[in-house]
Amino acid sequence: MLGKISKEQLAGDYPVWQTSLRNPDWAAYAELCGATGIRVTSRDQLDDAMTLMFSTDGPVLLCVEQDAELL
């Protein structure tokens, strides 16, 4: 979400409008560009993903998904 704009909308008693964002699939994007893309969605996948990342020849993009609600 575009945080500052959303806060300004709420502060002005306006509905939050057109500020939500969606992240692309970065691992898929890396594959489209000719690199290896690895996507991690949980902590237990990270060690295997990093092993694969460091053993792969050529460019690699490691995408680690995070919980946006965690502060």
Are the beta carbons of 52 and 63 closer than 8 angstroms? no
Structure tokens that stand for 27 in this block = 């691992």
pTM for this predicted structure: 0.68
Could you state, in order of their start, the residue ranges of all structural domains in the chain?
23-71
The pLDDT, as a whole number, for residue 69 is: 66
Q: Which has more pLDDT, 60 or 65?
A: 60
The pLDDT, as a whole number, for residue 70 is: 58
Query: By CB neighbour count within 10 A (0-12 exposed, 13-18 middle, 19+ buried), where does 16 fall?
Result: middle
E strands, the chain, are 36-40, 60-64
List, for residues 1-52, the tens digit of each pLDDT value: 667 888 888 889 988 888 877 889 999 999 999 999 999 999 999 999 999 9
- Unique residue bearing structure tokens 């893309």: 37
List, for residues 40-63, the tens digit of each pLDDT value: 999 999 999 999 999 999 999 999
